[in-house]
Amino acid sequence: MSLLIGDVAPDFEADTTEGRIRFHDWAGDDWVVFFSHPADFTPVCTTELGYTARLKDEFARRGAKALVISVDSVEDHKRWIEDIEETQNAKVQFPIIADPGRKVATLYNMIHPNADPKVTVRAVYVIDPDKKIRASIIYPPSAGRNFDEVLRLIDSLQLTDGHKVATPVNWIDGEDVIVVPSLSDEEAEKLFPKGFKTVKPYLRFTPQPDK
């Protein structure tokens, strides 16, 4: 199954380190960063989960929460959490799904046989409160992810949902944004009272409108 941006994220039930969940009910009205790990007790994953745990307040500020999946058991997950908290100086406060049958991993296309048929790739899905997939990123098992980029991506999605703008290369929250080309100059003048700078007719910059 191939999941595309705009698709409804498939619902499922699964056992986790925080009990059994039904995904859509658990997600509620929050944004969800749903990401996979090739296996427990692996070095790159340990650093990723520790860093994600330290971002708890940053996720909460954006109305977002993390959900993790690995093909190992709940018992292994709980023992691994002890290692993560010991080595990464962070309290893991998000559920880790146990998926020994690889049912959820397969549902979300996290098993890539050409990479390794026995483990998940490092997949990330950003899912909005309507349960729509808004972004997906796939890394090979060997490469750790940049979760600061995931936060930046959520910032961009939330901003552009509320305003007729797009975010330029390497944009971070607070910087100028791009007026969408579908707006005329007259419309843009009404929507952006701080004004805008025209570089080309299709490239117009304006201060971030919610700042």
Active-site residue, from 9, 27, 33, 45? 45
Q: How far apart are CA 196 and CA 97, in angstroms?
A: 46
Angle at 42 between CA 107 and CA 24, to 5 degrees: 30
Site of tokens 């390497």: 170
45 is catalytic: yes
Site of tokens 């409108």: 209
Query: Left if phi > 0, otherwise alpha if psi is -120 to 50, otherwise beta: which for 118?
Result: alpha
Q: How far apart are CA 7 and CA 164, in angstroms?
A: 22
Q: Which residues are catalytic?
A: 45
